[in-house]
Amino acid sequence: MAGDASPTELSSELLEDVEDFVEANEGESTLSSERIRHVSDLMKIGNQAFRENRFEEAINCYSRANSVKPGDPVILSNRCAAYLRICQFLRHRPPSVSEYSPLSGLDSTIHAELALKDAEKVINFRCDSTKSYILKASALIMLEKYELARDVILSGLHVDPTSDPLKDLERTTVSTIGSRGHGKPERTDDFDCTVCLKLLYEPVTTPCGHTFCRSCLFQSMDRGNRCPLCRTVLFISPRTCAIRGNTKWKERNMHYSTSFSRVNLSLAEFYMLTCSFGGNGNPMLLLMYNIAWFNSFTLNNIIKKTFPEEYDERKLENESLTNPGGDFMPLFVMDVVLPCQKLHLNIFEPRYRLMVRRVMEGNRRMGMVIPDSRTGSIADFACEVEITECEPLPDGRFFLELESRRRFRVLRDWDQDGYRVAEIEWVRDISPSAGTTQREDLQEVINAAAEYAQSWMNTAREEAQQRQDRARLLELDELESMMPTTRDPELYSFWLTTLTRRRPSEKLELLRERDTNQDDCSGSPVFLINMSFVGTL
């Protein structure tokens, strides 16, 4: 029977039912008897739902039980079986049914990966149980990792050489491994993105039926809200193109990002979008309401498994754009920024929208640099900033909150997809050695300036409170939140400078200064910064 089964058809009878949770099994658990009873009740409800083929409800109950009693092998085993049963259901669902009745939030690959995680934990607790190996092997088969599945099956047969379910699974995997490579699709341009003309990477299918690389589609939509191929008007929600790495938007759209399979706009949001794109709430445009965007996970999996070498090349190419390396920095050309500043940006230019998406998928850091009017290029010194908040807006813009970190020198720069990228060298002050007279004098200057700065902050806060100036109070809060320790003279001096009003040329000169190890401490840049601060306030 197993020999005629399809590779992803799991015939093991052990997946047909689940184990009952026995309260006495809690052993040395520190849980109270009341919490153990609560877990037992959840397991009974979950098992009943499983036996009635209500697998999502069963998974919910098992997950709640696991949150109360984490790491229990019975709970994890039952949840793993439920995940696998959902995978079976999705794999055997006719494609024609999915076209007219798509299942939001259900993806067989994701559920198989969740089942694999639970199965691995179960094996750690029950390495002498054949069911543990059956669960893990079944999950790997669902993921089409047949070689790994066979290794797990052989490990299980060492535990129980007479296990018929494991023998059935072994015949299935051996047969599948032997037939792999036959019927492999030919590499044609059907698998290419029509924008970049390369193998599709992270494909996204639009409502008009065309598929593009995710980055290519969003880069095209930075310049217009139409399909790059047929020019159909497309409406895109911020949560549809939610940036990976953006914690704020991940939390806000948790249930959408679980499977990335289908996203719908609310009617109010869609109306706002039609107005922002010039639709003015036109009823004809509202007919497009509830059109879904699909991330083509099935196609992505086919490409990954059919053309693994070319897919890896595309992956490396994408990673080189999002993570250029420690000595390379994407640049936002605007103004001079000093370390220890907090600022806000409204990103609307297509080139910088592209750059922000790539930065957010990487380390969330970029450089802020001012143009050099003398050379027509950019200044030779700049400052690294970190994106602490990124809010996508309905019209495609981004609102950013930034914090400046450290300065660097630009060695060389070039154009990449419209924005500037530079090879950089990090810059630090050459400070007096610890324990020297120069260092002690420098620390005295810093401490005196810090005392004066705190007094000034208190006075400014009292004046703002008297005027009920909320904007000024918020500004002071932001300044204080960025204040570094006085044990770092360089950063503290730059923070003091952010309290003063300086021309861009003066700020740029301060970024260039780095030698504080002079015979006379009063001539050091740090000293000058602090003294100018005292004289400015």
Please count the other Cβ atoms lying within 10 Å of the Cβ belonging to residue 94.
7
Check if the beta carbon of residue 402 is closer than 8 Å to that of residue 383. no
Q: Residue 329 and residue 368: Cα distance in Å, rounded? A: 10
Provide the pLDDT for residue 401: 93
Q: Exposed (0-12), middle (13-18) or buried (19+): which is 509, by Cβ within 10 Å?
A: middle
**Per-residue pLDDT tens over the stretch 136-160:** 988 888 888 888 888 888 888 888 8
**Per-residue pLDDT tens over the stretch 47-61:** 999 988 888 899 999
Which phi-psi region, left, alpha or beta, contains residue 255 (left: φ > 0; alpha: ψ -120 to 50)?
Answer: alpha
**Per-residue pLDDT tens over the stretch 288-317:** 333 334 456 778 888 888 888 899 999 999
Q: Exposed (0-12), middle (13-18) or buried (19+): which is 408, by Cβ within 10 Å?
A: buried
Q: Which 3-state string (H, E, C) describes 349-407?
A: CHHHHHHHHHHHHCCCEEEEECEECCCCEECCEEEEEEEEEEEECCCCCEEEEEEEEEE
DSSP per-residue string spanning 395-450 = TS-EEEEEEEEEEEEEEEEEEETTEEEEEEEE---BPPPTTSHHHHHHHHHHHHHH
Who has greater pLDDT, 368 or 93? 368
Helix H or strand E segment including 213: strand 211-213
**Per-residue pLDDT tens over the stretch 309-349:** 899 999 999 888 888 877 899 999 999 999 999 999 999 99
> Which of 201-230 are b and which e, b meaning 16 or more Cβ less than 10 Å from the residue's Cβ?
bbbbbbeeebbbbbbbbbbbbbeebebbee
Q: CA-based angle 78:47:31, to the nearest 5?
A: 70
At how many degrees (to 10) do helices 108-125 and 130-142 cross?
Answer: 160
Q: Is the per-residue pLDDT at 271 higher than 50?
A: no
Provide the pLDDT for residue 8: 47
Who has greater pLDDT, 85 or 521? 85
- Tokens 């543990």: give the residue: 132
Q: Exposed (0-12), middle (13-18) or buried (19+): which is 368, by Cβ within 10 Å?
A: buried
Q: Is the per-residue pLDDT at 199 higher than 90?
A: yes
Provide the pLDDT for residue 415: 93
Provide the pLDDT for residue 102: 56
Q: Identify which of 340, 531, 527, 345 has the alpha carbon closest to the alpha carbon of residue 431.
A: 527
User: What is the average pLDDT across 219-233?
Assistant: 86
The tokens describing 81, both together, are 């079986």
Sign of the dihedral through C-alpha 518, 519, 523, 527 = positive
Q: Identify which of 433, 430, 452, 429 has the alpha carbon closest to the alpha carbon of residue 441.
A: 433
User: What is the average pLDDT across 156-171?
Assistant: 85
- Tokens 């076209």: give the residue: 99
Q: Is the per-residue pLDDT at 441 higher than 50?
A: yes
Provide the pLDDT for residue 31: 73
Q: Residue 420 contacts by C-beta under 8 Å, 6 or more apart in sequence? A: 330, 331, 333, 369, 378, 413, 414
Check if the beta carbon of residue 511 is closer than 8 Å to that of residue 383. yes
Q: Residue 405 and residue 365: Cα distance in Å, rounded? A: 9
Q: CA-based angle 256:258:259, to the nearest 5?
A: 90
Out of 60-74, 239-253, 270-284, pick the least confident: 270-284
Q: Is the per-residue pLDDT at 524 higher than 60?
A: no
How far does CA 320 lie from the centroid of its chain?
16
Q: Is the per-residue pLDDT at 427 higher than 50?
A: yes
DSSP per-residue string spanning 5-42 = S-TT----GGGSS-PPP-GGGGTT----HHHHHHHHHH
Helix H or strand E segment including 205: strand 203-205
Provide the pLDDT for residue 412: 93
Largest CA distance in the chain: 90
Average pLDDT, the chain: 78
Check if the beta carbon of residue 421 is closer than 8 Å to that of residue 413. yes
Provide the pLDDT for residue 297: 74
User: What is the average pLDDT across 397-406?
Assistant: 92
Please state the pTM of the whole predicted model. Answer: 0.56
Who has greater pLDDT, 178 or 53? 53
Q: Tell me the pLDDT band of 258, cut-offs 50, 70 and 90.
A: very low
Q: Is the per-residue pLDDT at 87 higher than 80?
A: yes
**Per-residue pLDDT tens over the stretch 1-30:** 333 444 445 544 557 778 888 765 444 456
Provide the pLDDT for residue 144: 81
Q: Residue 187 and residue 50: Cα distance in Å, rounded? A: 42
Out of 78-92, 144-158, 327-341, 513-527, pick the least confident: 513-527
Q: Residue 400 and residue 397: Cα distance in Å, rounded? A: 10
Q: Tell me the pLDDT band of 481, cut-offs 50, 70 and 90.
A: confident
Provide the pLDDT for residue 289: 35
How far does CA 282 lie from the centroid of its chain?
35
What's the DSSP call for residue 500?
S
Q: Tell me the pLDDT band of 95, cut-offs 50, 70 and 90.
A: low
Q: Tell me the pLDDT band of 256, cut-offs 50, 70 and 90.
A: very low
Provide the pLDDT for residue 443: 84
Query: Hey, which bits of 273-380 come out as E strands?
Result: 294-295, 328-333, 342-347, 365-369, 371-372, 377-378
Question: Number of H helices and number of E strands within the chain?
Answer: 21, 11
The gap between the terminal CA atoms of the chain, to the nearest Å, is: 86
